[in-house]
Structure 1
Amino acid sequence: MTKEQANWSPYDNNGGTCVAIAGADYCVVAADTRMASGYNILTRDYSKIAKLADKCAMASSGFQADVRALQKHLEARHLIYQHQHNKQMSTPAMAQLLSNTLYYKRFFPYYAFNVLGGLDSQGKGCVFTYDAVGSYERVGYSSQGSGSTLIMPFLDNQLKSPSPLLLPAKDAVTPLSESEAIDLVKTCFASATERDIYTGDKLEIVVLNAEGTRREYMELRKD
């Protein structure tokens, strides 16, 4: 048994970084595709984004077995909802379901750090950010994962609105156009990849808007 195998834990953080940005009529959800354990790269092509509904996607980092268990649970609950109500769950409803699911498991929590994005009932972009036990907030942008400490200060610098204590509160959407938001996400990951060994290989971007959903990819550093 090698030293790395002896120190390995089934609850190792598999790393990765997730970002979501909401706009007036779109939402961008992005994550890298590297899965690592310690200094070992397990795979370079693993999607961390799950499409939960036509207008809703979730990106997750952390222990990938727990992430997958959480995704399967939400997919099953959404299927039951569709059979009972004959419609898909809205993004704010899915956000509440995710919060309830995480809180229910709070004494043995999923080792998963999630950001959920999509369109609300008015067609506006919305982003919900979570901690491990279900506390959540609707925001204009968010980042989770090993590279979030590098990305969030940059997003704050680019997008942070003045304090709501000084000015009337604004909607939780960013002023960027869709193409500007995608470019900003690419810049974030290109920068984080230089400093975080758990982020890299390839960037997956999911764009949700009134026309539907599309995916884009960008190559990142592989070392």
Structure 2
Amino acid sequence: MTKQHANWSPYDNNGGSCVAIAGANYCVIAADTRMSTGYSILTRDYSKICKLADKAVLASSGFQADVKALQKHLAAKHLTYQHQHNKQMSCPAMAQLLSNTLYYKRFFPYYAFNVLGGLDSEGKGCVFTYDAVGSYERVGYSSQGSGSTLIIPFLDNQLKSPSPLLLPAQDAVTPLSEAEAIDLVKTCFASATERDIYTGDRLEIVVLNADGTRYEYMELRKD
């Protein structure tokens, strides 16, 4: 094995981290803006978040050519849906479309790891987490990217998600208020930035609630 292959990482094309948290009446989606390859930073101001519909926001980590191709495909499908049904897709409908799209490409998959967040038909926050070939699950919170191995244990500790084996099934939303969820996301990224060289520079936060969509930003470490 060559040195190049020995040092290969699945996040060489674009590392970084994506996080989403669902609440009773909101959803918070966040990602850093660093794009890097190996030990080189290509840009410090690249958004990993794409708004697919009024109530559905996608955050992706992975190979950016595939991420852009996936976003373009979803946008085209959503436009067709709007012409046929005269309305926008709900977040659960977009989640199913994304799953179908990834599964269709399972033999030559998009090199993209996605978290979809938004509001469902009842106005509740919803988060869907994916693997590369379309398997997905509705959860209260999730993270993808090179910093996810640092962030998920922290979120587990803070939010203590109910086991899916519990009966009766518990609601997959977190008990935090919107402001608390935003603060928790900021804490996650401040911590991950200290320990993951692919995460940093700037944090972009998208908040969806009944009032619409709001953007917030926070500076992160730049080294």
Match of 1:113 in 2: 113
**Aligned AA (1:125):** G
| 1:49 corresponds to 2:49 | yes
**How far apart are the structure 2 equivalents of 1:23 and 1:202?**
24
Using structure 1 for the length normalisation, give the TM-score.
0.94
Aligned-pair distance for 1:168? Answer: 3.0
- Structure 1 residue 59 and structure 2 residue 53: aligned? no
State the shift of 1:201 in Å: 0.1
Following TM superposition, by how much is the alpha carbon of 1:167 offset from its aligned partner in structure 2, in angstroms? 5.3
Structure 1 residue identity aligned to 2:160: K
Residue 54 of structure 2 aligns to which amino acid in structure 1? D
| Residue 26 (1) aligns with residue 26 (2) | yes
Match of 2:215 in 1: 215
Q: Does 1:142 align with 2:148?
A: no
* Secondary structure at the counterpart of residue 50 of structure 1: strand
Q: 1:46 to 1:23 in 2, by over 3 A?
A: same
Give the partner amino acid of 1:127: V
AA aligned opposite 1:101? T
Deviation at 1:210, TM superposition (A): 0.3
Q: Which amino acid aligns with 1:122?
A: E
- Give the distance between the partners of 1:95 and 1:127, measured in 2 at CA: 9
Deviation at 1:182, TM superposition (A): 0.1
Q: 1:77 is matched with which residue?
A: 77
**Cα contact 2:162–2:170 (8 A) shared by 1:** no
CA distance in 2, matches of 1:167, 1:106: 33
Map 1:51-200; keep pairs closer than 5 Å: 51-166=51-166, 168-200=168-200
**How many Å apart are 1:8 and its aligned residue?**
9.0
RMSD value, Cα: 1.8
Q: CA deviation at 1:164?
A: 4.8
Aligned length, in residue pairs: 218
Report the Cα offset of residue 216 of structure 1. 0.2
Q: CA deviation at 1:161?
A: 3.2
2-structure distance, mates of 1:97, 1:90: 11
Deviation at 1:13, TM superposition (A): 3.1
Deviations for 1:115-171, whole angstroms, at most 9, x for unmatched residues? 000000000000000000000000000000000000000000001234354553211
- Name the CA distance, whole Å, in 1 between partners of 2:46 and 2:108: 25
The question of whether the paired residues in 1 share the 8 Å contact of 2:12 and 2:36 is answered with no
Residue aligning to 1:39: 39
SS at structure 2 position matched to 1:216: strand
Unmatched runs of 5 consecutive residues or more in structure 1: none
C-alpha distance after superposition, 1:161-196 (max 9, x if no partner): 343545532111000000000000000000000000
1:202 corresponds to which residue?
Answer: 202
Q: Which amino acid aligns with 1:58?
A: L
Cα separation, 2, equivalents of 1:15 and 1:154: 19
- Consecutive unaligned residues of structure 2, counting only runs of 5 or more, are none
Letter in 2 for 1:51: K
Between 1:156-165 and 1:55-64, the stretch displaced more is 156-165
How far did residue 14 of structure 1 move?
1.0
Percent of aligned pairs with the same amino acid: 89
